[in-house]
A and B are shown apart, each in its own frame.
Chain A
Amino acid sequence: MPSDQLSTVFGALADPTRRAILARLMEGDLTVGELRSPFAVSQPAISRHLKVLEGAGLISRTKRATARLSHLEAAPLMEATAWLARYREYWDESFERLDELLATLQRRPGQ
């Protein structure tokens, strides 16, 4: 994924309402009306959030009869998570090894 697209994904994820929308879509596809119900925001506001999520490739929307269904797209999310996860893994493992080395060095003072 190009890094500017990754920035778009992170931008989309930075909003708590949008994260809540994604979490709800994990259960299955929903219409704007269904998505709106737990939030204290207007339908146009939800639609704006959906537009941002769609722009980031995090959801896709299909027309079924008169309702428009939102569908969670997993791939960009996985890449967005992997972005920092791999970095974190590198340092987590390095620092775990440093813990061990420091413990060894402290058992052998003067060396």
Chain B
Amino acid sequence: MPELTITAPRDVPFIDISREFDAPRDLVYRAYIDPELLAQWLGPRRLEMRVDRWDPVDGGAWRYVHVEKDGTEYGFHGVFHGKPSPDGIVQTFEFEGAPGHVSLDSLLLEERDGKTVIHTHSVYQSVEARDAMVQAGMADGLREGFDRLEELLGRLVPVG
């Protein structure tokens, strides 16, 4: 499986992600921009994905919800800025569980030898807001075991 790279520098409120896909750029773009397709892949398998609104035009709003089996909902919403294209999709992002912490996310698709690399760059209001946001994603508790410790110590800690 292609490697997922996540960078979260310690001193600046950014998170960068990149990952390669074995598909042409237009198709990857479609899988993101078409809400019916988006709902088929975004989020963990155990959660049901419901797209309430997805209007990928300049100023268009979006909202989707991840639903747990017990009915618990995690909502996210924001607005698209600028006309989305494979060269750039810019949108604000807010987790409704941490209201007021808004990030500015940009996504671009790079064509590389018939494959496509997704790059995302998220800018948070502060390092604290970024850390709180990512931590909010840990709502159902800490499941990671001590076995990750070796990995953490061996590898460069993802703080840049």
Contacts and interface: CB of A to CB of B under 8 A. Distances in A.
A10 B152 contact: no
Interface stretch (B41-49, B54-62, B102-110): B41-49
A98 B137 contact: no
A49 to B, nearest CB: 14
Interface in A71-86: 74, 77-86
A23 interface: yes
Interface string B27-39: 1101100000100
Given A11-B10, A14-B157, A102 B22 contact: yes
B149 to A, nearest CB: 6
B56 to A, nearest CB: 17
Contacts of A103: 22-23
Contacts, number: 125
Contact of A74 (B4, B42, B149): B149
A97 B41 CA distance: 5
A95 B19 contact: yes
B53 to A, nearest CB: 20
B6 A101 contact: no
Interface residues of A, number: 43
Contacts of B45: 93, 97
A22 interface: yes
Given A10-B159, A101-B31, A87 B23 contact: no
A4 B130 CA distance: 11
B146 A74 contact: yes
A16 to B, nearest CB: 8
B153 to A, nearest CB: 5
B121 to A, nearest CB: 14
A81 B135 contact: no
Interface in B93-130: 118, 127-128
B10 A14 contact: yes
15 contacts: A7-B131, A10-B157, A14-B10, A78-B149, A83-B135, A87-B6, A91-B19, A93-B45, A99-B1, A99-B22, A102-B23, A102-B28, A105-B31, A105-B37, A106-B23
Interface of B: 1, 4, 6, 8, 10, 15, 17, 19, 21-23, 27-28, 30-31, 37, 40-45, 118, 127-128, 131-132, 134-135, 137-138, 142-146, 148-149, 151-153, 157-159
